[in-house]
Amino acid sequence: MRFFLRYLSLEGKKSLIAARKSMVKFIVMLLLIAGGVLAVSLVMKDAGVFQTAEIGVVIPEDEAQTKMVAQFISAMDSVKSVCHFQYLNQDKAMASLEKAH
């Protein structure tokens, strides 16, 4: 019985040492991957790979609620990163569309 307890104790110590080494390796790999992702995203952002889309919005004067919703959406950070909203009247919007075609 003592032999079994001694053996179990030694195996437990080995397991703890192996677990500690594995955790250290996991943390190091996690930091390396996070650093790589950060570096790639900074390079892509600075390279101008992502361009913002120009969005023209026409809202009638009497629709205050629609205007508030559009302003709320355009103020969101996730939308700002990919879109640039321009509020136009109907004549300017139609002229811009004809010019683009």
pLDDT of residue 47: 67
pTM comes to: 0.43
State yes or no: pLDDT of 88 exceeds 80: yes
The torsion defined by the Cα of 74, 78, 81 and 83, in degrees rounded to 10, comes to -40
pLDDT of residue 25: 95
pLDDT of residue 23: 95
Of residues 43 and 24, the one with the higher pLDDT is 24
- The number of CA neighbours under 13 Å toward the Cβ of 95 is 5
pLDDT of residue 81: 78
Phi first, then psi, for residue 26 (nearest 5°) are -60, -45
State yes or no: pLDDT of 5 exceeds 80: yes
Return the H-helix or E-strand segment holding 88. Answer: strand 83-88
pLDDT digits (tens, 9 = 90+) for 39-84: 998 887 766 656 778 888 888 888 888 888 888 888 888 788 788 8
